[in-house]
Structure 1
C-alpha cells in the first residue's frame, strides 16, 4: 500500500504495519488508521518516532517511549479501557507519549496523562487518560533527552 505524507513524502507500507485506533485519538477521532515512522538509517533504535495517520497526510504526531522521559513511568489504567486491544503482555504492549516541540526546544513537553497504548500482535491501539494524579499533560522532557544524548556520546 502506498500513501502520501506531508513530512515524509510517499511511503510504501504493508498492512502488517497499520495500527487501528477504533475510536481515533483525542482531537482526531475521525482518523482511525496509523503507522509508526522513524529514521532507520542510523541503525539505532530511535528516541523519537512519529505516529503517522494513513488517512490524513498532514497528521503526524511525534511520540516517545515514556521510559526515556521518566524511568519510573507506570500509569494506572482501567482494564476495561484496554479490552478492545486484545490480550496485553510484556511482549506485545507498546506505550508511547506524544511530544510538543515549541520554537524554544528547551520547553519541549510530553503528555504523561494521555499515553497511546498499542498491542503489537493485534495491531490495535487506543489513547487513554491515566488515573495517576502526578502525571501532567505538559511534562518538560528537554533534560531527559539531553541525558540520553550524553549517554550516547552525542553533543
Structure 2
C-alpha cells in the first residue's frame, strides 16, 4: 500500500504492519491507524509513529529505556485488556518526543508511554497514574554525555 506522507514523501507500507489504536491518541482520537517507521541510520535512537488515517501526522518517538534505563511501566489491568497483552516481552514501549527549534530542549513524555502489542498490532498511549515520571523530560544533555558527545 502506498502512503503519501508529509515528512517522508510517498512510502510503501505493508498493511500487516499497521497498528490499530482503538482509542486513538489523546488529542488525536479520530486517528486509529499508525505505522512505526524506524530510522535507516542505526546510530539514531528515534523512530516515527506515522499516521495512516492522517498521513500529514507523524510523532517522533523513542524507547524511554534508552534515556532512563530504570524506566518501569505500571499500568492498570484494564489497559492490559484493551491491548490484549499475553506476553509483556512482546510489548514495544515508546515515548513521544517534542522537538523544538533548540534541540537541546528536546523532551520525552515519560508519564504517558505509547505501548504497542507486537502480537496483535494494537496500540495505546496510557497515562500512568502511579509513579512520578514527568510529561516533559529533558534528556538531550544526559543522552549526549552517555553517547560520548
Shorter-chain TM range is over 0.9
Distance in structure 2 (CA, Å) of the matches to 1:106 and 1:46? 15
The Cα RMSD (Å) is: 1.5
Partner of 1:11: 11
Question: Which stretches of structure 1, 4 residues or more, deviate above 6 A after TM superposition?
Answer: none
Q: TM-score, normalised by structure 2?
A: 0.93
Give, in whole Å, the separation in 2 of the partners of 1:93 and 1:147.
Answer: 28
Structure 1 alignment gaps of length 5 or more:
none
Measured against aligned partners, the alpha-carbon deviations of 1:56-96 in whole angstroms (never above 9, x if no partner) come to 12110000001112111102111112212113424311010
Q: How do 1:10-89 residues align onto structure 2 when only pairs under 5 Å count?
A: 10-40=10-40, 42=41, 44=42, 46-89=44-87
Give 1:46 deviation, angstroms.
4.3
Counterpart of 1:103 in structure 2 is 101
- Determine if contact 2:61/2:94 at 8 Å carries over to the other structure: yes
How many pairs align? 149
**Contiguous gaps of at least 5 residues in structure 2:** none
TM-score in terms of structure 1 length: 0.89
